[in-house]
Each structure stands twice: as C-alpha cells, then as structure tokens.
Amino acid sequence: MSIAAWRKIAEDRIREAIERGELNDLPGKGQPQNLEDDSHLPEELRMAYKVLKNAGYTPPELDVRKELAQVEDLLVNAPDEASRYKALKRLNYLAGKLSAIRPQSAILEEHRYSQRVLERLTRKKT
C-alpha cells in the first residue's frame, strides 16, 4: 500500500474519532507537541543531528525519502500515462539514490518497495 493511501486512511480514522469525541480528553490537549523525538537515533549522534538540523541541514536520506513520498503521490494521482511514466522514472531514480546512500542490505528492501508500487499500478489500470 502506498504512503498516500496510508495517509488517507489515517486522516479518515482521525477525523472519525474527532467526530465521535474520542480525542477530547487527551493528555496535553492545547499544549505544543514535542516534535523533536530523537529516541530512534544512537545517543552519540543525537547532538550532531540536532546541530545540523538547527543549521538547516538534514541527512541526505531524509531528503530523498521526502521526495520519494511526493513522487509516489504524483504517481498515484497522475492524470495520464505520460505523467505516470515520468513519475515512475523519477521514483526509480530516487530508489536507486536512496540505495546508494544506505547500507547494501537496504537494496533488497527498496526492490520490494518498487515491486509493490508496480503491483499497485497494475491493479489500478485493470
């Protein structure tokens, strides 16, 4: 399933929960969120990443992943074959770029990702 599809499902479920009033009594309601959770980073890299982020730099992998999500949305919503082909070419380029940035073991995961995108496109056409 594409990122756009997951995003749509999540937004629909959140909207439905809001309409039912299930999110009215959440802790921290009305307070700013802490969007800088770096618990997934190794402790020795946290300070370096924070300094880079504050200076306006992000890891190349993050930039590529962001663009991959945008191109995937373009691909799913492409109005015609030419647009879909152009987006698919860009998607393949970005997947290759991401594989070059990440360790070699990640290449297999990107291949499975590309296969899922192609399967979804095939199902959409039929």
**33-74: pLDDT as tens digits:** 666 667 766 788 778 878 887 888 777 777 888 888 888 888
Residues 6+ apart with CB under 8 A from 77: 4
Determine whether 71 is exposed, middle or buried from the number of CB atoms within 10 Å of its CB (0-12, 13-18, 19+): buried
State if pTM tops 0.85.
no
What's the confidence (pLDDT) of residue 106?
45
